[in-house]
Structure 1
Amino acid sequence: MATAPSHVEEVYQRCRELGMRLSRQRRMVLDLLWDEKSHLSARDIFDKLNNQGRHIGHTSVYQNLEALQSAGVIECIERASGRLYGYRADPHSHLTCTQSGAIHDLDVLLPDHLLRQIEEQTGFAIESYTLHLSGRPRPS
C-alpha cells in the first residue's frame, strides 16, 4: 500500500502529475487540510480559511474538495451529519469515538491468514481494505 505524502509539496506534485490546476484556492484548501491533520467539513474549511484572512467562497471550497476527492488526493468520510474531508488519501482505517465523534486515523494491517479466509469465503481477491472501528475511551 502507498504511504501518505508527508509534506504538502508532495501533494502539489501529485496534483500536477494528475494534470490538476493548482489555483490559489486549491492550494489554500490543501494547506489547511495538511496543517490541521484532522477531518473537517466543507463549512469548517470555509470558516477556518476566512477567519485566517484567506478569503474563499463556499462554492470554491465545495468545487475544490470534490475535485481533490475525485482525483484521490484527499479522502471523504460520509457521516450522518455530512461529509468530512481529510488530508490522507492512502489506504488506512478509522476509529470513531462514540462519545465525542472524533475520528482517528489508524495504520492497521490485517493478518494474511485472515485476508485469505475472507477471500475463500467470498470468492474475491482482496486488493485493498479499510476498517471502520468505533469505541469509547477505556476508564483509567
Structure 2
Amino acid sequence: MRLSRQRRMVLDLLWAEKSHLSARDIFEKLNDLGRNIGHTSVYQNLEALQSAGVIECLDRANGRLYGYRSDPHSHITCLESGAIEDLDVELPPDLLRQIEERTGFRIESYTLNLTGRRCRRPLEKQP
C-alpha cells in the first residue's frame, strides 16, 4: 500500500487522538488543523487503510468508527457517554477450553465487546 499524503494525515490524526472517531470527526479535525482534505478523500483513505489491516473499523448502530489499532484487542463502551476504550484482556485458559468443548471450535483469537457505566476510577495495577 502506498502511503499518500492524505493517508498519512488520517493515520497521524488517529494515532494522536488514540480514540475511535467517525469519518466526519476525522474530516472536521483535519480541516480544523488546516489540512485541506475532502469528505470523499477521507472515506476512501479510511476504507483503504482498514482493508489493508492498518486501522480498525467498528460498526455501531449510529455509524462506523475508526481506531488507530489493528492488533487483536477488546473494547469497553460507556452506556452513558458512548465513549469506547481499548481493552487488553486475556481470558483464562480454562475458560477458553470450556468454550471450545461446548462449541466444538478451536479458538485462535478473540475480542470482547463489553458495555457498562463508569462508577469509579480504574484500579491501579499492582507491581
TM-score (norm. length: structure 1): 0.84
Correspondence for 2:63 among 82, 87, 97: 82
CA RMSD of aligned residues (A): 1.0
Q: Percent identity?
A: 80
- Partner SS, residue 77 of structure 1: strand
Answer yes or no: is 1:60 the counterpart of 2:41: yes
**Deviation at 1:69?**
0.6
- 1:1-140 to 2 correspondences below 5 Å: 20-138=1-119
Deviant stretches of 4+, over 6 Å:
none
Measure, in 1, the Cα distance between the counterparts of 2:12 and 2:73: 21
Query: Gapped runs of 5+ residues in structure 1?
Result: 1-19
Tell me how many residue pairs correspond in the alignment. 121
Measure, in 1, the Cα distance between the counterparts of 2:120 and 2:6: 43
TM-score (norm. length: structure 2): 0.93
- Partner SS, residue 114 of structure 2: strand
Measure, in 1, the Cα distance between the counterparts of 2:120 and 2:66: 30
Query: Gapped runs of 5+ residues in structure 2?
Result: 122-127
